[in-house]
A and B are shown apart, each in its own frame.
Chain A
Amino acid sequence: MGAERALYERDRHDGDVIAEVGTACIFVPADHVAVTRYSATVNMQGHDRVLFEILGGAAGATGDTIIISVQEATAEGAEGAVAAAGSRALASGAKITTLPATAGAGFATRNDLWLIEVRSEEMDVDNLFNFLQLKVVTTGTGWVVGAVAQRSIASYEPVATTNVTEVVP
């Protein structure tokens, strides 16, 4: 019987090669001041689920806010201020954190972990939306944020019946 696989073999934790540059973290830990910023995209072809793990550290002031959502796109894109081509909120339904998360009195010592899971069947695969990325919107004086995407190898087709007339289970 073969050895049980390691956790890092079962799922993928790094990003993709985008514009010939390998991407480790899809959203590098840094202090983001009143900005809308997009993570690097992850290609969901070959994967059926992804868990976005967004880590939050200190904010800058009591009233600072953060909103994190998942977008689907038709092309790859690097982390930055510009969304990937075709990037939009998931057509199947928003994947978004409670709006808005306010830093509050403990803003300087915040420790947050947001988990957002998306299945490939929630993506508009029929229209070639094969990529996902995070959209992070911060207001105020800043919020330290980083993120990792954990992708699970596909066990099933995302849309198994695209061209099938009828399925009788």
Chain B
Amino acid sequence: MERKLYELNRFDTDTQASLIEPQALAAGTTNSIWLGMANYNKAIFVIQGGAANDAAATLDVLVREAQDNVGGGAQAITGKAITQVVADVGFATLNDLWLIHVETPEMDVNNVYTHLQLQVIVSTDDTWEISAICMRQTRRYEPAPTTQVTELID
């Protein structure tokens, strides 16, 4: 029998339901919890954006990696950030959807980076309606299959 979409991938986090529950995020940096990627080879962060409070409000969203579930050695992953968004004149009726895709070979697996986090930054004195989930695909391949192999002949 064909598997359901909710069986193909994991939609909740390791310790809670939504990664970032819908809310008016305050100014400053909001970090999601850390998601373990040991049993997964792909993840897609699905970020929804609603209204901002001001036309000049800005939003940055990026993915970081760490060596454990408390952020040890946390660092940004190159190329896994949206272009900064400016709310502009339509700030009260914004409807945005951002997708950030990460595959485990893009993580620093050799240095034991095993966890991912979503970081959202709202500009000073502003707010932005944000929510986010992360969908993780069960691992089918080794993230870095040739770490200790001398040579791979394909």
Contact = CB atoms under 8 A, between A and B. Distances in A.
Contact of A8 (B18, B95, B101): B101
Interface of A: 6-8, 11, 13-14, 23-25, 28-31, 49-51, 53, 55-58, 110-113, 115, 117, 144-146, 148, 150, 152
B22 A145 contact: yes
Contact of B46 (A13, A50, A56, A111): A13
Contacts, number: 113
B11 A146 contact: no
Interface string B3-26: 011100101100011100111100
Interface centre among B12, B16, B129 (most CB of A within 10 A): B129
27 contacts: A7-B42, A7-B43, A7-B135, A13-B97, A13-B99, A23-B95, A24-B49, A28-B50, A29-B22, A29-B49, A29-B131, A49-B5, A50-B5, A51-B5, A53-B46, A56-B17, A111-B21, A113-B18, A117-B4, A117-B6, A144-B24, A146-B48, A146-B129, A146-B131, A148-B46, A148-B48, A150-B135
B6 A51 contact: yes
Given A49-B4, A55-B17, 12 more contacts: A7-B44, A29-B129, A31-B24, A50-B5, A53-B133, A55-B21, A55-B133, A56-B18, A117-B4, A144-B24, A146-B48, A146-B129
Contacts of B101: 6-8
B130 A29 contact: yes
B22 A57 contact: yes
A132 to B, nearest CB: 14
Contact of A28 (B5, B24, B43, B48): B48
Interface of B: 4-6, 9, 11-12, 16-18, 21-24, 42-44, 46, 48-51, 94-97, 99, 101, 103, 129-133, 135, 137
A22 to B, nearest CB: 9
Contacts of B44: 6-8
B70 to A, nearest CB: 19
B127 to A, nearest CB: 12
Nearest to B4: A117
Given A58-B23, A117-B6, A112 B50 contact: no
> What are the 10 closest A-B residue pairs judged by CB atoms, nearest first?
A113-B17, A24-B97, A29-B22, A57-B21, A57-B22, A51-B5, A111-B21, A7-B44, A146-B131, A146-B22
Contacts of B135: 7, 150
Contacts of B24: 31, 144
